[in-house]
Chain A
Amino acid sequence: MPLGTYKEALSARSTDKKILDVSQDGGIVSALLCYALDEGIIEGAVVAGTPDDDWRPIPTVVTSSDEVIAAAGTKYSMSPTLSALKEATRQYGLEKVGVVATPCQTQGLRKAQAYPFTRFVAEKIKLIIGIYCMENFPMASLDTFATAKLGFDSLQEATKMDIGKGKFWLTKDGEDSGLAIKETHGYEQAGCNICQDYVCEWADVSTGSVGSPDGWSTVLTRTDDGDSVFKAAVSAGLIETKPMDEVKPGLPLLEKLAKGKKDKNTAERERRAKMGVKIPALY
């Protein structure tokens, strides 16, 4: 099962124009967070924001729809988001916290729940919204894509960043410049090379663009909590959905990418183990 355990797969999009104006794809993460905040399912969430608008992700605690929307959009560099859980539970005193997490961050969260070595944090994690992730880039790699490969004067000129249709895209003055994904290989962080999870298999609900048409997202609901929050947001009219078999390219592409990541990075794990360097011990 390259997509992990899930209850339902749907193509979905936020119905809120305010969200769609700033969202990466279908605005599912923002719509779910806004809904969960409004309904009191969570009191706040930790997310990757870019308060300085410089593409550098900063772990951020959000407690309102406005703050969610201000932090919307994918960031393609590392955000130690879990560090902000401490701020959310201690400084903000939140009892019910949502987290927007990549697969590796979700592993950290689930481990912290299974072995709660940090007092009074794990029990407060009420919703994990997982985002599909193939790999992540150091800021210097993004700088290289912008300046050395796409001819920008600096990364700061870019007004939008995206990966899709086989390319890494930067937008400047309304014009999109694409860099073949192959050109980005070798610039990702090394830790990503042993990750076998593309679709955030341990989240409550996971989402990402792959499999759905432009402006839509593919959603996999996984746990009872994730499934009920998503369904409730749909019932409330905040999210519209389409069956996956009615959209192109559909689940086969998502499965292909998920399997590709598993195969490639399982081989890398084996290569490292054979060399005798460390890989995570699995229990």
Chain B
Amino acid sequence: MFDKLKKAFGGSSEEAPKVEEKVEAAPVEEKVEAAPAEETKAASSKPRIGYIHLSGCTGDAMSLTENYDILSTVLTDMIDIVYGQTLVDKWIHGTYAEEMPEMDLCLIEGSVCLQDEHSVHEILEARKKSGLICAFGSCALTGCFTTFARGGQQAQPKHESFLPISSLVKVDLALPGCPVAPEVIAKAVVALCEGDLDYLKPAMDWAACDKGCGCDVLTNVIRQGLCTGCGTCALACPTRAMGFSEGRPSCDRDRCIKCGSCYMMCPRSWLPVERIKKETGL
């Protein structure tokens, strides 16, 4: 996995022409021309990102674009978005029917509907074309609220089973959230571009997860004698399903959308000790 990440972001063999132009135009880069050709190539190759929108509400894409302050820098200097219906108007089933390009990383928003042939085809294709697949947001990761879909609705009454994408393809990293928060997207993008694998390790370990629920806090924290009643899970919950009783979280399952945020954020599920020390200097 680590080698794969490094390979994906350290030096892709294929470079977008746009990148070449940019590097040639930048006077700072000119100076390092003396450096070995391979090194220059590795340093100038920007990750090629795809964005696939399956059964989700576009909330995750909106969160991505909410990083206004860094977005222009990210898009012009750090990454190339090479595929995506919403972001770059490229879709293999659309008007611009074309082959899916090779990607270093493909972000997938939304769960995959088994009865939607386009979705199934697109995700299987993405697995072939992309070095890494990221379950981007809780719908892709756990199914989130699409878990409760039962079909029988217009315009496609047959569309009833919506699965976490890991049901169909191997997922390499996951960013949960409903929607995934803009700030963590920004930090993850920076980590990806810098090859900071330590920061991404929890997201990589989380990729195997295919369910999330307020119950996780009950079974994996409270029942394990780990809960201290700090309240982080209630802070994390986007639907305020998490209440407290006698110092312990109590999940209202009628409100829980199974996004997995509560357990992901609980300091007793996992704790990024090294990262915290680095950021705070403590």
Residue numbers of A with Cβ under 8 A of B are: 4-5, 59, 77-86, 102, 104-105, 107-108, 110-123, 136, 138-140, 189-195, 201-202, 222-223, 272, 277-283
Contact = CB atoms under 8 A, between A and B. Distances in A.
Contacts of A110: 276, 279-280
A85 B235 contact: yes
8 contacts: A108-B235, A111-B271, A113-B279, A116-B184, A117-B181, A119-B183, A272-B225, A282-B273
A226 B225 CA distance: 32
Contact of B226 (A4, A194, A223): A194
B230 A82 contact: yes
A36 B264 CA distance: 32
Interface string B260-277: 010011111111111110
A110 B232 CA distance: 11
Interface of B: 63, 176-177, 179-184, 187, 198, 201-202, 205, 220-221, 224-232, 234-236, 240, 242, 244, 246-249, 261, 264-276, 279-282
Contacts of A140: 246
B201 A283 contact: yes
The 9 closest A-B pairs by CB, nearest first: A80-B231, A78-B247, A78-B229, A83-B234, A108-B232, A82-B231, A190-B225, A83-B231, A116-B183
Contact of A114 (B220, B227, B235, B272): B272
Contacts of A117: 176-177, 180-181, 184, 236, 261, 264-265
B279 A189 contact: no
Nearest to A85: B235
Contacts of A113: 276, 279
A260 to B, nearest CB: 19
B31 to A, nearest CB: 36
Contacts of B261: 117-118
Nearest to B270: A281
B194 to A, nearest CB: 16
Nearest to A128: B280
